[in-house]
Amino acid sequence: MAEPDPDTISSGAGQRLGAPETLGISTLDPGHRPPAMPPGRHVTIRVRMLDDTEELFDISQKASGKVLFDLVCSHMNLIEGDYFGLEFQNQQKMMVWLDHIKPIIKQLRRPKHTILRFSVKFFPPDHAQLLEELTRYLFALQIKQDLYCGRLTCNDTSAALMVSYIIQSEIGDFEESQCRSHLLNNNYIPDQMPLIDKIMEFHSKNIGQTPAESDYHLLEVARRLEMYGIRLHPAKDREGTKLSLTVAHTGVLVFQGHTKINAFNWSKVRKLSFKRKRFLIKLRPDLNSSCQDTLEFLMPSRDCCKVFWKICVEYHAFFRLFEEPKPKPKPVLFSRGSSFRFSGRTQKQVIEYVRESEFKKIPFERKHSRVQYSSRVQHNSRLSPLPSPSHREVPTDVSLLSGQFSCLTLPCIVVSSHYGHLWLRAGVVSNSPHLSASSGHSHGMVNGQKSLELCSHSPDGRLPSPLTSPLLNDACSVRTDDEDEVRRKRFPTDRAYFIAKELLTTERTYVKDLEVVTVSFQSAVGQDEATPDSLKDAIFSTFEPLHKFHTGFLREVEQRLALWEGRSNAHIKGDYQRIGDVLLKNLQGLKPLTANLSKQSEILLELEKACKASRRLEGLCRDFELQKVCYIPLNVFILRPLHRLIHYKQILERLCKHYPATHVDFRDCRAALADVSEVVDQLQGSLIKMENLQKLLELKKDLIGVDNLVVPGREFIRLGCLSKLSGKGLQQRMFFLFNDVILYTSRGMTATNQFKVHGQLPLHGMTIRESEDEWGVPHAFTLVGQQQSVVVAASSLVEMEKWMEDVKMAIEMAKTSNGPSSELLTSSLTDNKCPEDSSVEAESEDDMTAPHASLEKPTPHRGNTMVHVCWHRNTSVSMVDFSIAVENQLSGNLLRKFKNSNGWQKLWVVFTNFSLFFYKSHQDDYPLASLPLLGYSVTVPSESENIHKDYVFKLHFKSHVYYFRSESEYTFERWMEVIRSATVPSSRARGLNGKETHA
């Protein structure tokens, strides 16, 4: 093979997989390029990729193995490169991994004549831990190779099923003659001919699957096999019996032939060592076991022992340690033993790094795939949790850009669900020629930010759940400092004016929310025959009169504020700088309409019952929740009228507190406050029950494995992300605390984005204790049940204290209350046990065919609920937090600025449901983007940030920073207050005192 020019090699990075440029790899710090090449004679290294292509890399002989590996990963634009390695055959004819620390020249005696193989080195227990589609694609290629060479042994059903997924990704949907011809010309498994009919049968059931989905199903089947990721090393026991040793994420395994006969988990292993040909495993003392403390295996040679020992060291460090181990200090006189250590990120660091980093989403080309995407959509996701065809991603830092361009509707779906970024969905994007390559910005730079790239609709034409998305490119929205000064001189500065203006801005949002039910929901669902007449009557008899009333109320408030600001000449004389009279008049007129609000729970239950009875109605409601206009769960809109009464009460309390008793507006405000307080007090008890019911119904949509979550007497307390300690180490789990039970779940890898329930812990008879010292895990505590104990670790001390406080409270409640009488989990859950809870996972035909039944037609689902935000932000929220959040809603205009941008952009911002929702103006029917606030901090900018403006607050989460400017001291305080209600943990004592005003 001719050696290419070195410049050509370096400049062509990323071309193998069709990527336009190199943007960093996971073994490097964020934003860094591969390290500079050390001086010395260069040599061309040949690397065989997983798709069997060969690539040449020009590298200095003095360079370390890590430099070469970084070049390979950079060439593929591979972010999660830490799961992979370069292996080669050494002088002893053994396959060994390229050491990252040692120079190339000390490892490859004849570099020009050595072919290195790029292969999967670390096989995680669950491919859900692989966050990129490219990584899963490379794993699928590895599985394909292992099947072909006979390394991944399994029964015929499993083999046929996996081959069906492989050919689905390569040739597309099933067509009998094409499929048969392809299988006759291509071998995927040894002795393939007898299985062709079975493979074709499975392939016919894969219709509609994208290559990404096929990769997911392939890995789902493969990971359940006993030989998944297994690399056997021959050995003998003390009696001379031929065995094989291997290492996995769980520990060291012993095989006889292809059957696992023993396993030594990392938690049981005290030390691994070798002495000449003998490989030694020293176990921790166990009085209940008859196993010897030290096990000895004889391997073919000392080199074989050392190679296997190194692999064990790396596997243990990668899966069990939190961070890369530090190098041993150099001995003063002489060294004893090997100085080898694991070099690189651990799995925990890889996952955190990818989630926190911001990379441009790069398409890649599947070399083996013949599928044409003119009629199907190719899934080009970077940092995507799901191989779902309904998710299309773009750079996570592009939302809400300011610019000077015209706008058009973009048929683009954007979902960014992992980090401290904005949740995005379809909407508006710039259509200016300035965004072309001729502008000088290869990626369409707008005010220092990257612009959106075009992408396609999902195959079914639906939009995914997260909030609407695109760019806010309204040139008229950028406000100058001169305009600010004119505004300050023109409009009133009285605090009462800004309180009244808050009434106006929040009333605008409330009327829009009522229209979601009376207009949008009625047109989408209410006119369908599947909707029961009783449900139609209940909803629209409640909401249509409210919408009509509040439309008139909003008109009166707008007129009063126009007079207050002096923007109207409709009056000649009169004191219009007050709002109490308008409030008193309208709240008295609202009283008759609030009589039915105590029956909102009946609407929630009837809607749930109707959806259960009619699959068509259920689908209509689900599709409606995926529309842009339904920016929060539908049930939250149904409870809006109750929450709005609390907002009126808060506004009137602020006015009464501000006014002196002699003020002309004080008497009306006090009378209006008395009226609304009376109504709120009457509805208080039912509101708490309805909020709990609404939350249970919402959680039901996010959970798989629960039939009867919504039962009388069950109360939701807290949900959040904890790490569960098992034989495989700490694994991320989602926990749900109720007044009678704790559920623990994991995020499903299906298109529904739901969480799969793995088990339950009844609270009756449970105890809880701190156990950080016992297990050596920070912020750990143990839940000790009557039948099962679970050790979990929180992300911080604050999180641990919140969980322990709530669990203790729930345990006490369980002692004095009978709680729900029904069993929680379905019987099918026990058959679908979590892999981490079983020492041996049986392989059966039922398991192999399960994905067909559950994922044949995936159901779209919202991916931006608080459950998912907690999962990705590694935090938790309680029912008290939810209650405070819905009471502290706010709307209004804010100026927004990115960390590195110059201008301020005017946006209409709505705070609700723990998120900020962004609009171009208050007339818009749906938000263009949203920012979930869990995990964020709200502060005032420091002097060093050079934000020389008044009333500016700063939102920051890790590396993500946003600045917002408000128009007055009052609005600044209110925005800080409501945002803190979503970012600062609430006090349990505060919540137990009832639904007090959180003003």
**3-state SS, residue 584:** helix
CATH of the domain at 181: 1.20.80.10
pLDDT per residue as tens digits for the range 376-425:
333 333 333 333 333 333 333 333 333 333 332 223 323 333 333 344 33
pLDDT of residue 855: 33
Statement: residue 919 has pLDDT above 90 = yes
Domain presence at residue 677: yes
Domain presence at residue 608: yes
Statement: residue 194 has pLDDT above 80 = yes
CA angle 389, 391, 392 (to 5 degrees): 110
Distance CA 783, CA 725 (A): 12
pLDDT of residue 32: 41
Across all residues in the chain, what is the average pLDDT? Answer: 76
Task: Give 997's pLDDT tier (boundaries 50, 70, 90).
Answer: very low
Domain presence at residue 837: no
pLDDT of residue 366: 72
Statement: residue 445 has pLDDT above 60 = no
**Cα atoms in the 13 Å half-sphere on the side-chain side of 863:** 32
User: Among residues 354, 375, 397, which one ends one of the domains?
Assistant: 354
pLDDT per residue as tens digits for the range 46-82:
999 998 889 998 888 788 888 999 999 988 888 888 9
pLDDT per residue as tens digits for the range 529-569:
888 888 888 888 888 999 999 999 999 999 898 888 876 55
- Residue 641 near residue 510 (C-beta atoms within 8 A): no
Statement: residue 865 has pLDDT above 50 = yes
Share of the chain above pLDDT 90, in %: 27
Average pLDDT in the 354-379 region? 54
Domain presence at residue 70: yes
Distance CA 289, CA 287 (A): 6
Query: 136 forms bridges with which residues in the sheet?
Result: none
Instruction: Quote the DSSP letter at residue 524.
Output: I
Q: Are residues 310 and 289 in the same domain?
A: yes
Domain presence at residue 193: yes
Q: Are residues 169 and 258 in the same domain?
A: no
* Region for 791 from its dihedrals, namely left if φ exceeds 0, alpha if ψ lies in -120 to 50, beta otherwise: beta
CATH of the domain at 919: 2.30.29.30
Which domain does 205 fall in, by range? Answer: 127-223
Here the tokens at position 303 are 């080199």
Q: Are residues 683 and 771 in the same domain?
A: no
Q: Are residues 637 and 673 in the same domain?
A: yes
Distance CA 68, CA 65 (A): 5
Statement: residue 890 has pLDDT above 70 = yes
User: Among residues 816, 851, 871, which one ends one of the domains?
Assistant: 816
User: Backbone phi, then psi, for 808, in 5-degree steps?
Assistant: -60, -45
Average pLDDT in the 948-956 region? 90
User: Identity (one letter) of the amino acid at 875?
Assistant: T
pLDDT of residue 910: 94
Q: Which residue has the higher pLDDT, 503 or 440?
A: 503
CA 597 to chain centre: 36
Task: Flag the least confident range among 107-116, 197-206, 217-226, 637-646.
Answer: 107-116
- Residue 764 near residue 740 (C-beta atoms within 8 A): yes
pLDDT of residue 512: 93
Task: Give 107's pLDDT tier (boundaries 50, 70, 90).
Answer: confident
Q: Are residues 112 and 218 in the same domain?
A: no
Average pLDDT in the 801-806 region? 92
Share of the chain above pLDDT 70, in %: 72
User: Among residues 758, 785, 816, which one ends one of the domains?
Assistant: 816
pLDDT of residue 750: 59
Instruction: Quote the DSSP letter at residue 553.
Output: H
Distance CA 936, CA 882 (A): 16
Distance CA 64, CA 60 (A): 9
CATH of the domain at 656: 1.20.900.10
Here the tokens at position 580 are 């109490």
Q: Are residues 583 and 687 in the same domain?
A: yes
Q: Are residues 513 and 634 in the same domain?
A: yes
Considering its fold, how many domains does the chain have in total? 6
Q: Are residues 805 and 774 in the same domain?
A: yes
Distance CA 366, CA 343 (A): 30
Q: Which residue has the higher pLDDT, 338 or 553?
A: 553
Q: Are residues 749 and 770 in the same domain?
A: yes
Q: Are residues 676 and 752 in the same domain?
A: no
pLDDT of residue 654: 92
Task: Provide the pairing of β-strand 755-762 with 767-770.
Answer: unpaired
Task: Flag the least confident range among 546-555, 564-573, 726-735, 823-832.
Answer: 823-832
Task: Give 605's pLDDT tier (boundaries 50, 70, 90).
Answer: confident
pTM: 0.58
pLDDT of residue 371: 56
Query: 938 forms bridges with which residues in the sheet?
Result: 955
Domain presence at residue 765: yes
Q: Are residues 177 and 205 in the same domain?
A: yes
Domain presence at residue 479: no
Query: 298 forms bridges with which residues in the sheet?
Result: 236, 278
Q: Are residues 347 and 247 in the same domain?
A: yes
User: Identity (one letter) of the amino acid at 101?
Assistant: I
Task: Give 818's pLDDT tier (boundaries 50, 70, 90).
Answer: low
Task: Give 825's pLDDT tier (boundaries 50, 70, 90).
Answer: low
Task: Give 488's pLDDT tier (boundaries 50, 70, 90).
Answer: low
Average pLDDT in the 601-623 region? 87
Task: Give 294's pLDDT tier (boundaries 50, 70, 90).
Answer: confident
pLDDT of residue 332: 46
Distance CA 86, CA 910 (A): 51
Domain presence at residue 575: yes
pLDDT of residue 102: 86
- Residue 91 near residue 42 (C-beta atoms within 8 A): no
DSSP output for 234-258: EEE-TT--EEEEEE-SSEEEEEETT
**3-state SS, residue 804:** helix
